[in-house]
Amino acid sequence: MSEFKRIAPEQAQALRDKGAVVVDIRDPQSFAAGHISDSQHLDNYSLADFIAKADLDTPLIVTCYHGNSSQGAAAYLVGQGFSEVYSLDGGFELWRATYPQDTETSQPE
């Protein structure tokens, strides 16, 4: 895959079931207030470490607020060598509406 693909929450859920990694690029407070279960917060501070430790062949789903910012981040991650990258259409807001049972909160970073 030389470019990222946009996917709906249902497709993202199917990929999660198969082991895809979910990264959330929203601000730390928004991530703490609610995020996709088992997702990782990704920002400028954690990006290099994430890339260094990641399996570049594992499917990667990028989410943001509404599915706009994640497209740029997904394109960047493709450029960093990830072979299968997806941007979640509708972002966390649509995910939360579709899969409220698959969201969680955490302490702010």
Q: Which residues participate in catalysis according to the annotation?
A: 64
Long-range contacts of 13-17 (CB under 8 A, 24+ apart): 13/99, 13/102, 15/59, 15/61, 15/86, 16/61
Q: What are phi and psi of 107, to 5 degrees?
A: -75, 140
Output b/e per residue, 6-43; b: 16+ Cβ within 10 A.
Answer: ebebeebbebbeeebbbbbbbeeebbeebbbeebebbe
